[in-house]
Amino acid sequence: MSDFGAGGILPVDKPEGPTSHDVVQMARRALRERRIGHTGTLDPFASGLMLLCVGRATRIAEFLTGLDKTYQAVARLGVRTDTLDRDGEVVREDEGWRELDPARVERVLADTIGTSMQVPPQFSARKVEGVRMHRRARRGEHVELEPRPITIHAMDLVELDLPLVRFRLRCSSGTYVRAIARDVGESLGVGAHLTELRRTAVGSFGVEGAVHPDRLSDAEQVRGAWMEPLRALVHLPCLDVDEEAVSALRQGREISTCHPVPGSPVVAAFDERLVAVGEVLDGTFRPRKVFVQ
């Protein structure tokens, strides 16, 4: 299926177990295309939507990584683990969850909404001095990590069956849901870790219709889920251009425009095809990446 190398976005429904890298490797073998990357890691114990950038579409990955993510998750109160999830070693248990008022749990969840500073987990893919934190943590190293700003746009309690708390949230890219479970548990005074995590959406793209890795060799399934690059960039302002402009952009030249949205990035499109991504400044579209040959 090497024809997919022309470029596009493939939504994949990652199951629990494999790493995000494993899923990329599966896609490379099934599609016979080496140029495949993804736009956001999922932990091995997590499942859900990954957007794979295939072929020439790897060049638009940077415009997708910052999209908001939507998750469904389950936190187990009263048990802390070193990884903040079910795969870690238990470091402390607290039976105080038995005395918790359900209304208080709901309030603490609601209080997470908004922008705050989050301390990343010790077990994470974040690099410190060139070494990923999960490698340092497994060696017994502890690094004081700087908190980073995150935004939780929505947080809904789905089900409360203490000590289990099932919730749904939409958050900014780079948010660690494991750390949210940790912080909720600390706010309640009993600790917590994440037992389930499923990503249900990336931006406006839902997991419904995504391809399971086991079906990546099914050309019909892949084509049914396949997104052309322009469709994947629907969240960006779009500038419709004519054939003359396409010729100029193909050569990397700027074009004049009365596009009302200044700044970057802006998509240039012709006949429902992606031509370039760039910025509009002083009435001029300046291409950063050109996608026509």
Interatomic CA distance for residues 224 and 243, integer angstroms: 30
Interatomic CA distance for residues 32 and 4, integer angstroms: 9
Q: What is the rounded average pLDDT of the residues 202-215? A: 96
Query: What pLDDT digit, counting tens, does each position of 118-140 carry?
Result: 998 876 666 655 666 556 656 66
Q: What is the rounded average pLDDT of the residues 83-93? A: 94
DSSP string, 184-204: HHHHTTS-EEEEEEEEEEETT
Q: 197 - beta bridge partners?
A: 73
Please name which of 206, 229, 260, 173 lies closest in space to residue 9, comparing C-alpha atoms: 229
The per-residue pLDDT for 2 is 44
Interatomic CA distance for residues 81 and 87, integer angstroms: 8
In which band, very low, low, confident or very high, does the pLDDT at 221 lie, cut at 50, 70 and 90?
A: very high
- Domain limits, CATH 3.30.2350.10, in the chain: 2-66+207-231, 69-202
In which band, very low, low, confident or very high, does the pLDDT at 243 lie, cut at 50, 70 and 90?
A: very high
Which residue shows structure tokens 């935004």? 151
Q: Are 81 and 50 in contact (CB under 8 A)?
A: no
Interatomic CA distance for residues 34 and 169, integer angstroms: 34
Give the end-to-end CA distance of the chain in Å, rounded to a whole number: 22
CA atoms within 13 A on the CB side of 7: 15
Which residue shows structure tokens 């990329």? 24
Query: What pLDDT digit, counting tens, does each position of 31-83 carry?
Result: 999 999 999 889 999 999 999 999 999 999 999 999 999 999 999 999 999 99
Q: Which residues are catalytic?
A: 43
Cα distances from 4 to residues 27, 96, 222, 226, in angstroms, run 11, 54, 9, 9
Q: What is the rounded average pLDDT of the residues 185-212? A: 97
Average pLDDT, the chain: 91
Q: What 8-state DSSP symbol labels residue 210?
A: P
Q: What does CATH list as the number for 236-290?
A: 2.30.130.10
The per-residue pLDDT for 134 is 59
pLDDT over 90, % of the chain: 83
How many residues are present in the chain? 293
Give yes or no for residue 266 having a pLDDT over 60: yes
Interatomic CA distance for residues 238 and 269, integer angstroms: 7
Q: What is the rounded average pLDDT of the residues 164-193? A: 97
Interatomic CA distance for residues 119 and 122, integer angstroms: 9
Cα distances from 283 to residues 242, 257, 263, 280, 289, in angstroms, run 16, 5, 11, 6, 18
Q: Are 180 and 169 in contact (CB under 8 A)?
A: yes
Other Cβ atoms less than 10 A from the Cβ of 292: the count is 13
Superfamily name with CATH number, domain 69-202: Pseudouridine synthase (3.30.2350.10)
The per-residue pLDDT for 292 is 87
The per-residue pLDDT for 131 is 60
In which band, very low, low, confident or very high, does the pLDDT at 169 lie, cut at 50, 70 and 90?
A: very high
Q: What does CATH list as the number for 2-66+207-231?
A: 3.30.2350.10
In which band, very low, low, confident or very high, does the pLDDT at 1 lie, cut at 50, 70 and 90?
A: very low
- Domain limits, CATH 2.30.130.10, in the chain: 236-290
Interatomic CA distance for residues 123 and 137, integer angstroms: 6
Give yes or no for residue 90 having a pLDDT over 60: yes
Give yes or no for residue 185 having a pLDDT over 60: yes
Interatomic CA distance for residues 8 and 253, integer angstroms: 25
